[in-house]
Amino acid sequence: MINVKNLQKNFGGVEVLKGITTEIDKGDVICVIGPSGSGKSTFLRCLNMLERPSGGQIIFEGDDLTDKKIDLDLHRQKMGMVFQQFNLFPHMTVMKNLTVAPMMLKKVPEDKAKAKALELLGKVGLADRADAYPNQLSGGQKQRVAIVRALCMEPDVMLFDEPTSALDPEMVGEVLDVMKKLAADGMTMVVVTHEMGFAREVSNRILFLDDGVILEEGTPEEIFGHPKNERLKSFLAKVL
């Protein structure tokens, strides 16, 4: 589904990504782990071109997103993203947050968009908060709404950028539960996370990034059970 070929990214001369090559298949749940500053978030943000790569290619469903002539907006409709800071639209109700993009971009009629939003809100246990404003929600509720907002566009893949890092500890579980359900439903997911338990339990493949390169990748069993790379071993020793 997504082919990443020799992906590079510089920020003002600093090499953050030094050539990453990997493949994300339909139905994959991939967790990206690694120390802070390793380039995890930059890698994820390059996948939907929120960061423009300095080199390499992102092939999404056959189209090269780094091609200047491509209609990025159209492709982004198929790539949902969830941010660490939620980034809900504070001036809109929850319902409006969920329906604005489908109605504007996919011309979904209002009643259908609302029905879909309510259905998904129900699945994350927030059907009664449709008329609330984001500031009236807890962090965990905000992030669940943010996940639903991305899902309302019916994406082919969901990108999660440290979705639980800004949450109070007691709210991490409710968000991870939603993500687990999503994975169980067969959604293709790429998750940058520090939640090793989630990575081990839910993902089918883990990428360990350090210093802008993939140092090791494999199944949770391989990564957590038999880490080969020394850096990965010391990283796991610190976080587990």
Partner 1 sequence: MNLSTLFLASGGPFSAWFTKLHETFIVNDRYKLLIEGFRNTILITLGALAIGVVIGTIVAVIKYLAEDAPSLRWAAAICNLYITVIRGVPMVVQLLIFYYIIFSHAKNGIPVAIVAFGVNSGAYMAELIRSGINAVDAGQMEAGRSLGMSRLQTMRVVVLPQAIRYILPAIFNELIALLKETSIAGYVAEVDLTRAGNLIRNNTYDAINTLLLVALIYLLIVILLEQILKHMERRLGKGDKR
Residue selected from 23, 37, 105, 115 as contacting partner 1 according to rule CB under 8 A: 105
Instruction: State which of positions 32-61 bind partner 1 (CB under 8 A).
Output: 48, 50
Per CB under 8 A, does 10 bind partner 1?
no
Per CB under 8 A, does 83 bind partner 1?
yes
Residue selected from 4, 42, 53, 76 as contacting partner 1 according to rule CB under 8 A: 76
- Which part of the chain contacts partner 1 (CB under 8 A), choosing from 7-15, 127-135, 218-226, 229-237? 127-135
Residue selected from 21, 136, 138, 234 as contacting partner 1 according to rule CB under 8 A: 136
Per CB under 8 A, does 77 bind partner 1?
yes
Beta strand pairing call for 14-24 and 2-11:
antiparallel
Print the binding letters for residues 158-187 with partner 1: x by CB under 8 A, - otherwise.
-x----------------------------
Per CB under 8 A, does 156 bind partner 1?
no
Nearer to partner 1, 16 or 196 (CB): 16
Per CB under 8 A, does 70 bind partner 1?
no
Q: Contact residues for partner 1 (CB under 8 A)? A: 48, 50, 73-81, 83, 85, 87-92, 100-101, 104-105, 133-136, 149-150, 153, 159
